[in-house]
């Protein structure tokens, strides 16, 4: 994408992200509400905590994507690992690992395209790295 | 006065929608099995409920100053409910509040030092 055309499509990307997020937000609210009101035996809940590879780089992007995920009812950011580029997301309706990862990554793609003047490279590590606990934890989560 | 009446009715609809959302969130507090489901479903649903009530009141009493106030109030409300939910859930996890039995995958468990060392079988629950 050339610089000028990227600049021209930037406002459009922002607006389309806002509308897309509003739609996703309302739909998620509807699903969660229906499931809460459903009799206990027929609840469709399948919660899981999934490590989602992320493409965010700057502080702003990490903060925004974790806030947006939490703001959507039914999904919740539990923790992030910037070192491994992983978001730990708790989902309420997780059919499979792939479905939640796809959902979160679509949101992130759209957010990054709306946030960056030139979206650039949105590729993520293909394999989820195995995070091995260390004896000496880093000083803060963000280091 | 026609448009005024219409806005008044729409405002009432939004206010009752917000009240309904908050009531459902309250029911969810009792019905959902663990901390994380409650934080993810209820924390932000309550945020949406308040935001919806603010929209309703704005429609019933519209002015440009009120619009600015409502936008600020909604952004602050949604942001704080999201950050609060994350803080509660994260501190719950760090304080050994394990997810409910129906949680079928838990990747975060691998990063725990104590769970990882002696009882790897718990990750299969």
> Quick check: B6 and B47 in contact, CB under 8 A?
no
Structural domains counted in chain A: 1
Mean pLDDT of chain A: 79
Residue A122 phi/psi, 5-degree rounding, is -110, 20
Confidence class for position A140, pLDDT limits 50, 70, 90: low
User: Quick one: which of A58, A54, A143 has its CA closest to A107?
Assistant: A54
Domain for residue A124, yes or no?
A: no
Contact B86 A77 (CB under 8 A): yes
Buried b (16+ CB within 10 A) or exposed e, B19-44: eebbebbeebeebbbbbbbbbbbbbb
Q: Which residues of B48-85 are buried (b: 16+ CB within 10 A; e: fewer)?
A: bbbbbbbbbbbbbeeeeeeeeebeeebeebbeebbbeb
Q: Which of A95-109, B16-30, B37-51, B103-117 is predicted with the least confidence, judged by mean pLDDT?
A: B103-117
Percentage of chain A lying above the pLDDT 90 cut: 2
Report percent pLDDT > 70 for chain A.
Answer: 83
**Chain B contact present for A51, CB below 8 A:** yes
pLDDT of amino acid B57: 92
The listed range with the strongest mean pLDDT (A72-76, A77-81, B33-37, B66-70) is B66-70
A14, part of any domain: yes
A97/A41: higher pLDDT: A97
Q: Are A80 and A62 in contact (CB under 8 A)?
A: yes
Could you tell me if A58 lies within 8 Å of chain B, comparing CB atoms?
no
pLDDT in tens, B31-63: 888 888 888 777 777 788 888 999 999 988 888
Residues of A with Cβ-Cβ distance to B30 under 8 angstroms: none
Q: Which two tokens stand for residue A105?
A: 């990554």
Q: Which residue of B has its CA nearest to A49?
A: B106
Of B40, B48, B78, the CB nearest to A90: B40
pLDDT at A143: 43
CA A102/CA A22 separation, integer angstroms: 18
User: Which of B79, B81, B74, B17 is closest to B44 using CA atoms?
Assistant: B81
Confidence of residue B100 (pLDDT cuts 50, 70, 90): confident
Looking at residue A82, what is its pLDDT?
80
CB contact under 8 A, B40 and A51: no
Q: Looking at the predicted structure, is the pLDDT value of residue B16 above 90?
A: yes
Q: Which residue has the tokens 């999904």?
A: A75
What's the average model confidence in pLDDT over A17-30?
A: 88
Residues in contact with B50: Cβ distance below 8 Å, sequence separation at least 6, in sequence order: B18, B22, B77
Contact check, Cβ <8 Å, B27/A37: yes
Q: Is A31 near chain B, with CB under 8 Å?
A: no
Range of the domain at A40: 3-115
pLDDT reading at B85 higher than 60: yes
- The DSSP annotation for B20-31 comes to HHHHHHHHHHHH
Q: Given CB atoms, is B81 within the 8 Å cutoff of chain A?
A: yes
What is the reported pLDDT for A115?
Answer: 83
Q: Is the pLDDT of residue A109 over 50?
A: yes
State how far the alpha carbon of B37 is from the alpha carbons of A40, A54, A63, B103, in Å: 14, 23, 21, 10
Higher pLDDT, A80 or A122: A80
Chain-chain contact of A36 with B32 (C-beta, under 8 angstroms): yes
What residues does each domain of chain B span?
Answer: 2-94
Residue A16, phi-psi category: left (phi > 0), alpha (psi -120 to 50), beta (remainder) = alpha
Q: Does B94 touch chain A (CB under 8 A)?
A: no
Domain assignment of residue A60, yes or no: yes
Residues in chain A: 143
Centroid of chain to Cα B51: 11
Is residue A63 one of the residues assigned to a domain?
yes
């Amino acid at each position: 994408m050339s610089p000028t055309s990227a600049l021209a499509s930037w406002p459009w990307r922002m607006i389309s992200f806002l509308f897309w997020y509003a739609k996703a937000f309302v739909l998620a609210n509807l699903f969660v509400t229906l499931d809460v009101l459903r009799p206990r035996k027929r609840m469709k809940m399948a919660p899981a905590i999934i490590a989602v590879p992320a493409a965010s780089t700057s502080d702003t992007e990490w903060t925004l994507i974790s806030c947006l995920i939490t703001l959507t009812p039914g999904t919740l950011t539990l923790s992030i690992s910037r070192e491994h580029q992983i978001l730990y997301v708790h989902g309420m309706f997780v059919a499979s690992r792939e479905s939640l990862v796809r959902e979160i990554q679509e949101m992130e793609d759209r957010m990054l395209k709306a946030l960056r003047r030139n979206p650039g490279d949105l590729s993520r590590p293909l394999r989820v790295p195995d995070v091995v606990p260390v004896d000496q934890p880093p000083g803060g989560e963000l280091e | 006065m026609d448009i005024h009446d219409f806005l008044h009715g729409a405002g009432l609809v939004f206010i009752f929608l917000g009240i309904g959302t908050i009531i459902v969130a309250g029911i969810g507090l009792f019905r959902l099995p663990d901390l994380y489901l409650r934080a993810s479903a209820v924390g932000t649903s309550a945020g949406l409920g308040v935001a919806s009530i603010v929209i309703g009141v704005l429609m019933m009493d519209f002015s440009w100053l009120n619009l600015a106030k409502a936008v600020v109030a909604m952004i602050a409300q949604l942001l704080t409910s999201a950050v609060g939910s994350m803080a509660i859930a994260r501190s719950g996890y760090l304080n050994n509040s394990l997810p409910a039995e129906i949680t079928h995958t838990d990747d975060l468990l691998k990063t725990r030092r104590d769970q990882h060392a002696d009882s790897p079988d718990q990750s299969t629950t």
